[in-house]
Chain A
């Protein structure tokens, strides 16, 4: 994980952290670990599947140049030729979807506040297809409790609780502020959600897997909270 140090900045402290504590190599243990587990349960407990984040006014849209974007690869990930999205895991029908097919599914538009783990907020509008629509198309088998998102941004990934993924304001976005998603914001497809912190919203998507077990995530494995709800 030493690559983290040379990678683009995400959190200034992260570099110091991996040097000081080796936090990327070891899970949080002891008192803090117990409290982290407790807080994760608490986050799940207060998450309400039906609670909607308010729509923001168009006038509050953040200038796009001021909306931070990052990736973990050394250079901006470029769209692979013949890109498709694979949907798998515990599903009735494994799917391989092209962008065109995704765009023909029911479209959802959101303009909600984005909350970063760092403490900043920003507003953009996003459009795409709800993950619940993807789940409907694939047909979830009993026992699905988690959803894992994988990307072509090196080994960036993130796993979610099913409830947050199926939230009506959680989408696979192919557009931002009325135009197709730019490469800095995860083109061609990214997760966008009103109910998670930014680092949970995997960009440059390649796979959505509906799973019975919890996996981690790029930042989550380095010690950031797994639930990451807002």
Chain B
């Protein structure tokens, strides 16, 4: 627990700012924040490791039970006016994707695990901001956008060398920050479907009940795409998996 108590980056030494990142900041008349040094803190502090692995379990249960619920009406759009653009109207997902066994079971699992998913997320976001971890994890366009594009081009083998990275590269920050936003959107769109009258302000936000279902399912697709990319990339960098278990080296 030592790392959790650390006052973190106070008085940290400054790291050189990559030349590519200085440019956009000058145009906005502000200085890039130097990457703080997280003295003695592990790459993956214990709270983040706990949240990560809990989340892995919760997300699988949420996705499986959600698809079980979806099976009862595997279509998008209201009765009589289903959306023409959705190519899979009436097609449920295969049995192996579903958890709960029946509609009621899927609902009970979904609404049970949702609480744990939400509180896990709230705990994560509190730690993320209060500990200062956001400084080395959160995607900030003026700092990370250039590196994210360069990293993407590198993965596509259009660029020969990876861009310089500090704690995370820009693309990692983009992905890991995006997935937090997906999580928030999933919770809000889920609430909009769960209580479309009592939480009507949320339902309006997503374009009505059937709009919220679209967003909720699209969120699942994005989560799945994230997971696929995440699994491929960590399998190419297995040390990162180990770090997420042991915490990795101290900074």
Instruction: Report how far A67 CA is from B200 CA in the complex, Å.
Output: 23
Chain B CB count within 10 A is highest, among A14, A43, A113, A123, for A113
Inter-subunit contact B73/A119 (CB<8 Å): yes
Q: Does A184 contact B (CB under 8 A)?
A: no
Instruction: Report how far A213 CA is from B107 CA in the complex, Å.
Output: 26
Q: Does B206 contact A (CB under 8 A)?
A: no
A32-B108, A51-B198, A113-B209 known; A121 vs B79 contact (CB < 8 Å): yes
Which A106-121 residues have C-beta < 8 A from chain B? 113, 115-121
Inter-subunit contact A23/B73 (CB<8 Å): no
Chain A CB count within 10 A is highest, among B109, B196, B199, for B196
* Chain B residues positioned under 8 Å from A53 (CB to CB): 197, 200
CB distance from B188 to the nearest CB of A (A): 15
CB distance from A20 to the nearest CB of B (A): 5
A36-B108, A116-B73, A119-B73 known; A46 vs B102 contact (CB < 8 Å): no
Chain A CB count within 10 A is highest, among B68, B103, B107, B115, for B103
Q: Does B238 contact A (CB under 8 A)?
A: no
* Chain A residues positioned under 8 Å from B71 (CB to CB): 12-13
* Chain A residues positioned under 8 Å from B103 (CB to CB): 11, 13-14, 17, 117-118, 224
Instruction: Report how far A120 CA is from B213 CA in the complex, Å.
Output: 10
Residues of chain B having any CB pair with chain A under 8 Å = 68-73, 75, 78-81, 101-109, 111-112, 115, 193, 195-200, 208-210, 213
Q: Does A223 contact B (CB under 8 A)?
A: yes
Instruction: Report how far A195 CA is from B196 CA in the complex, Å.
Output: 9
* Chain A residues positioned under 8 Å from B107 (CB to CB): 117, 224-225
A-B contact pairs, 28 of them (CB 8 A): A11-B72, A13-B68, A13-B71, A16-B102, A17-B101, A17-B105, A20-B102, A28-B104, A28-B108, A31-B112, A35-B111, A38-B115, A62-B78, A63-B80, A66-B79, A66-B80, A67-B80, A113-B196, A119-B69, A119-B70, A119-B72, A120-B73, A120-B78, A224-B103, A225-B104, A229-B195, A229-B197, A230-B198
* Interface band, chain A: 35 or more
Inter-subunit contact A115/B209 (CB<8 Å): yes
Contact of B105 among A21, A122, A195 (CB under 8 A): A21
Encode contact with B along A217-230: 1 for CB under 8 Å, 0 otherwise.
Answer: 00000111100011
Contact of B200 among A23, A36, A51, A66 (CB under 8 A): A51
Instruction: Report how far A60 CA is from B80 CA in the complex, Å.
Output: 10
Q: Does A39 contact B (CB under 8 A)?
A: yes
Instruction: Report how far A222 CA is from B103 CA in the complex, Å.
Output: 11
Instruction: Report how far A70 CA is from B59 CA in the complex, Å.
Output: 34
Inter-subunit contact A62/B102 (CB<8 Å): no
Instruction: Report how far A157 CA is from B217 CA in the complex, Å.
Output: 33
* Chain A residues positioned under 8 Å from B101 (CB to CB): 13, 16-17, 20-21
CB distance from A115 to the nearest CB of B (A): 6
A20-B102, A35-B112 known; A121 vs B78 contact (CB < 8 Å): yes
Instruction: Report how far A3 CA is from B200 CA in the complex, Å.
Output: 38
Inter-subunit contact B209/A39 (CB<8 Å): no
Inter-subunit contact A229/B102 (CB<8 Å): no
A28-B108, A32-B109, A39-B112 known; A46 vs B198 contact (CB < 8 Å): yes
CB distance from B110 to the nearest CB of A (A): 10
Encode contact with B along A1-45: 1 for CB under 8 Å, 0 otherwise.
Answer: 000000000011110110011010000100110011011000100
Output the nearest chain A residue to B73 by Cβ-Cβ distance. A119
Q: Does A139 contact B (CB under 8 A)?
A: no
A48-B198, A229-B198 known; A118 vs B73 contact (CB < 8 Å): yes
Q: Does A47 contact B (CB under 8 A)?
A: yes
* Chain B residues positioned under 8 Å from A62 (CB to CB): 78-81
Q: Does A68 contact B (CB under 8 A)?
A: yes
Q: Does A194 contact B (CB under 8 A)?
A: yes
Inter-subunit contact A230/B80 (CB<8 Å): no
Instruction: Report how far A12 CA is from B103 CA in the complex, Å.
Output: 8
* Chain B residues positioned under 8 Å from A23 (CB to CB): 102, 104-105
Inter-subunit contact B210/A222 (CB<8 Å): no
Chain B CB count within 10 A is highest, among A11, A53, A121, for A121
Which A168-224 residues have C-beta < 8 A from chain B? 194-195, 222-224
Inter-subunit contact A121/B72 (CB<8 Å): no
* Chain B residues positioned under 8 Å from A28 (CB to CB): 104, 108
